[in-house]
Structure 1
Amino acid sequence: MIGNRVRLLLLSGTAAMATFSGAAHAQTAAQSTVAGTQINNQASVTYTVNGGSTQSATSNTASFVVDRKVNFTVINDQANASTKVNLGQTGAITSFKVTNTTNGIQDFLLSPTQGTILPQLLGLVTGTDDFDLSNLKVYVDKNGNGVYDPGTDVATYIDELAPDQSVEVFIVGDVPTTAGISLANVALQVTVAAGGATGTQGAALVDTSLSLGNADMTTDVIFVDNDNDALGPDIARNGQGWAYASYEIGARNVAMSVTKTALVVSDGYNPLTPKALPGAIVQYCLLANNGTLTAAANGVVLTDTIPANTTYIAGSVLVGLPGGTCTLAGAPQDDATVYNSTTNKLTVPVGTLTGGASTAVSFRVTIK
């Protein structure tokens, strides 16, 4: 009687037996197998014939590569949804955070937009959007300090973000000087892109159709990202994410002050200590100061009426920084622009006073 004994031995790179359940084990992106990793497996069989020596045979190698499981998050990364800004402020900043939870290194494309509807619909901000920022830009935090550094943070896309790593992204824009405006909504759209080439912006990823069977030696791209804004433009599994913030006008006024002094500069008799005699020349100095450090005052205009019993000295208006007897390197003003001989009134535009800045205007009169 011939007896055959056959013994099968399955070899794998992980475990000889597996238990299946309806839920997968939770893993972070860094714990997951990197996309594109090839997994190989062989089986072998041992057996004897008629009590002879043990013999064996080896199967072919079954191989496949791990697919790319694309996921990431983008959130508003500020203490408050709105950034307080001032009229005329330049380089106003809102901050966002992008985290890569894909099982591979990815680039991310960034697009800033602004609009009136979506954030209100989503309940993400309150108030009515009534202005747009100019010069709207988006930049990536290069040195990881979480602060926008002009001249340093110049990249406009996220380059080579590793699994489970995050990076700060800034939307930067200029606030108009229009009176009465109060709120501007902005949105950051993030699109996952191909990684693998440092310093080169990857193309937006395209997901593999789920109607296709798994291609063993091809790294399929599978989007698993959620719809992160409910009623907004984002939808589940589209390789995009949106986050929202707003700019809110804070300071609507500044601590503006103006101080006026008078100095007798000559009387024709006393060169060292001139007196306010008829015929003497008096210099008036108007010193304007913006005492609010965080807000600029725009369109500043100083006005003064030439006092009774004096005569305005033509061409005597100077504008400059405070110093000396009134102005340092004062710029002469055209009488046709600043002096109204009918009303005997001076109207002198000095432009914008940034936070904490001062300017001086001087003019001279003769005592009648």
Structure 2
Amino acid sequence: MSSKQMWLANASLLAVALAPAPAFAAGTQAGTTITNSVTVDYAVGGVAQNQVTASNSFTVDRKVVLTVAELGTGTTTVSPGQSSAVTSFTVTNSSNATLDFALSAVNRAGGLAAHGGSDSFDVSNLRIYRDTNANGVFDSASDTQITYLDQLSADATVTVFVVADVPLGRSTNDVAGVRLSATAHDGSTAGTQGSVLVQTAGADTAGMDTVFADSSANGNTASDGIGFAEDDYTILAANVSATKLSRVVRDPVNGTVNPKNIPGSVVEYCINVSNASGGATATNVVVTDVLPAETTYDSTFGIKVGGTVTSGVCNADGAGAGAFNAGTVSGTITSLPASESRTVLFRATIN
């Protein structure tokens, strides 16, 4: 081999040895072997001697950095009794290795919630879904329910949904906080959750060590291989109440002049349904009234639904129509906004 050929061969070997590993934000991929080689050329008596070479190799250790973050900046407004209410998070693997992440969703244990107010109730049936189609919106038909993230690549971020059911009987501004936690696991095997990672103690070893480098931001514990974030559900409820009024319209003796409640008198019933201020609009408000056995329904007057009240007196201005069946009056108020009232009005004759 000529000296030129030898030089080219050495240059090629050096280029291979120094070729860069794939670039990651956290640095060189864990498990990569980095080799550094040196050659020494010398002469004796003016005659070139055989080269002396030496090399050194070490394995890049695994630096574990993960971040769990709330997706969005506000609370999730929910109704009492709502099912599958959604909060959204991201899990980011900033490590220099592909990892699995065990996921856990729990109710927050009291105190201030993520967006203000005190955590005052718990949601139920907590479950976790991966945003399978990566559209940022929970799709129950296509997103996958999971307990861990399988082989999340270095520098990769995925969206995760925490889905829960809201109990009945809660009031406006009640708050339920939830926490999503992710714990770093070995990610070397696809389809199977790897073992939980343990930070390497003591001095550097010849193999691939593990170093936890996650931060203490947002209340997390630094360097424990676990990340969490919190979000909350805030109740927006309707505060519906009802009063029932009656007045005698006419009687068979006095007519409409100072009528009394005697047999044969016509009595007008008004059911006034109100929704207090500061809450949600109540919808599909169904009013059901079983007529007393001592009365007979007045089919001529009918049932007027959705009317108003003026100075405590019900107006016969309801635009909707109710129904009478098997001794029961019913009517549906389609929408009842906060701070408003609507009525169901009908008449009966005293037997």
Q: Residues 245 and 309 from structure 1, CA distance in 2 versus in 1: closer, same or farther, beyond 3 angstroms?
A: closer
Structure-1 residue corresponding to 2:51: 56
**Which of residues 122, 138, 143 is equivalent to 1:132?**
122
After superposition, residues 221-232 of structure 1 pair within 5 angstroms as 221-230=210-219
Q: Residues 298 and 94 from structure 1, CA distance in 2 versus in 1: closer, same or farther, beyond 3 angstroms?
A: farther
Distance in 2, Cα, partners of 1:164 & 1:76: 18
Specify the code of the residue in structure 2 equivalent to 1:165.
A
Q: Secondary structure at the match of 1:229?
A: helix
**Which of residues 6, 30, 46 is equivalent to 1:35?**
30
Q: Deviations 1:10-53 (Å, cap 9, x if unpaired)?
A: x69449xxxxxxxxxxx983472111111122222221122223
Structure-2 residue corresponding to 1:250: 236
* Partners of 1:89 and 1:296 within 8 A in 2: no
Q: Secondary structure at the match of 2:27?
A: coil
Runs of 4+ in 1 over 3 A off after TM superposition: 11-15, 27-31, 116-120, 294-301, 306-309, 365-368
After superposition, residues 295-310 of structure 1 pair within 5 angstroms as 302-305=288-291, 310=296
Shift of 1:310: 2.6
**Which of residues 113, 121, 134 is equivalent to 1:144?**
134
Q: Is residue 184 of structure 1 aligned with residue 176 of structure 2?
A: yes
Structure-1 residue corresponding to 2:79: 86
* Partners of 1:71 and 1:102 within 8 A in 2: yes
* Partners of 2:26 and 2:94 within 8 A in 1: no
Q: Deviations 1:227-281 (Å, cap 9, x if unpaired)?
A: 1233xxx311000111011100024258x9xxxxxxxxxxxxxxxxxxxxxxxxx
Structure-1 residue corresponding to 2:97: 104
After superposition, residues 1-368 of structure 1 pair within 5 angstroms as 13-14=17-18, 29-30=24-25, 32-59=27-54, 61-80=55-74, 82-117=75-110, 119-120=112-113, 124-156=114-146, 157-180=148-171, 182-209=174-201, 211=202, 213-216=203-206, 218-230=207-219, 234-253=220-239, 302-305=288-291, 310=296, 346=328
Q: Residues 49 and 186 from structure 1, CA distance in 2 versus in 1: closer, same or farther, beyond 3 angstroms?
A: same
Q: Secondary structure at the match of 1:125?
A: coil
Q: Deviations 1:320-354 (Å, cap 9, x if unpaired)?
A: xxxxx999xxxx98xxxxx7xxxxxx488x9xx99
* Partners of 1:116 and 1:130 within 8 A in 2: no
Q: Secondary structure at the match of 2:68?
A: strand
Q: Secondary structure at the match of 1:64?
A: strand
Distance in 1, Cα, partners of 2:159 & 2:176: 21
Q: Residues 311 and 54 from structure 1, CA distance in 2 versus in 1: closer, same or farther, beyond 3 angstroms?
A: closer
Q: Secondary structure at the match of 1:117?
A: coil
Specify the code of the residue in structure 2 equivalent to 1:130.
S
Distance in 2, Cα, partners of 1:189 & 1:31: 21
Distance in 2, Cα, partners of 1:173 & 1:111: 13
Structure-1 residue corresponding to 2:310: none
Shift of 1:297: 6.2
Distance in 2, Cα, partners of 1:95 & 1:175: 16
Q: Secondary structure at the match of 1:172?
A: strand
* Partners of 1:72 and 1:98 within 8 A in 2: yes
How many aligned residue pairs are there? Answer: 272
* Partners of 2:120 and 2:176 within 8 A in 1: yes
Unaligned runs of 5+ in 2: 1-13, 243-272, 274-279, 299-320, 337-347
Shift of 1:302: 1.5
Unaligned runs of 5+ in 1: 1-10, 16-26, 257-287, 289-293, 313-324, 334-338, 340-345, 356-364
Residue identity (%)? 37
Shift of 1:154: 2.2
Q: What do you get for the CA RMSD once the two structures are aligned? A: 4.3
Q: Residues 244 and 183 from structure 1, CA distance in 2 versus in 1: closer, same or farther, beyond 3 angstroms?
A: same
